[in-house]
Structure 1
Amino acid sequence: MSLREDRAVQVILGRRSIRKFQKDKKIEPEKLDIILECAQAAPTAGGTRPWHFVVVDDRHLLDALAEAHPYGKMLREASLAIVVCGDPTLSDHARRYWEEDCSAAMQNILLASCALGLGSVWLGVHNSPGRPEAIRQVLGIPDYINVLSIAAIGYPVELKEPHRGYDSNKVHHNKW
């Protein structure tokens, strides 16, 4: 078996941003549980685990999120969304590294979704003016909790080829 045929490598290279979903096809609870377990398996600074996850499968709330996020129109078709949030009040590590910790959890959400035959896309929230407040308002997220991003997840309508190759100009060995 070649290294490219390894299942983990296939999932990583096969994970693509999917924005078209089968609107009325629900995600099985077992798959959601695995996705959330994988999210919480992500590394964190000092083992802080600052994340919180808001699972949204109510159609009215998904539609409201689609309105609140200018690039989130696919949420109208997604089976569910997972909003990844971080609590910076837990510790100094959480305050300094919640973005990295929650980003690792988000990547695990996307990879687990792909491995389970689902499509997903990462919607940025945290660094966009006004966006965190809009999402917080729709979902009733407390002010002290930071909103990092949203994963729109569902059964894909579109399929994309896996990633191939890498840009060697972006790789530096030992020094720049």
Structure 2
Amino acid sequence: MALGRAYSVAVSGVDGHLVEIEADVGRGLPGVHLVGLPDTALQESRDRIRAAVTNSGEQWPERRVILALSPATLPKVGSVYDVALAAAVLDAAGAVPRSPLDKTVLLGELALDGRIRPVRGVLPAVLAARHAGWPRVVVPTTALAEAGLVEGVEVLGVNHLRELLAWLRGKGSLVLP
């Protein structure tokens, strides 16, 4: 049994709340299970993240994957968590190092081919991350100008899951504002 972790932000109106994403890759029938009040779009992310991971040249764990989004009492809406969900699974599988994930909030929707699409609420999400003391936020490159308006937090842009994984492994760089 392996446990991975990544972080994102839930946005409700103009307020953002930090969300911890835990991935447990363990014994059992292969499948992906989401817990923690996910909406329909988030339930559909199971298929998006699996396709994005494999289409980015990574191995998807052929085991039981449980993804928990906390706090469980906070409703999670939309696809903003896709990038963090994929990173948590790959952390649990031992495919990426944990240390950069422990200091980084990840925002973005994954396309099936691994491209990272824009999401709503980037500005309040980055503000919430800064307010919670997070030093770094990774956003879709298309949202970099908006996210870069927030001072006191390092903001980086990414276009594709492959780029993010290379950066997490210390073998690449991301886009600066």
TM-score range, shorter chain: under 0.3
Structure with higher strand content: 2
Structure with higher helix content: 1
Which structure would you say has the larger RCO, counting Cα contacts within 8 Å and 6 or more residues apart? 1
TM value normalised by structure 2: 0.26
Structure ID, larger Rg? 1
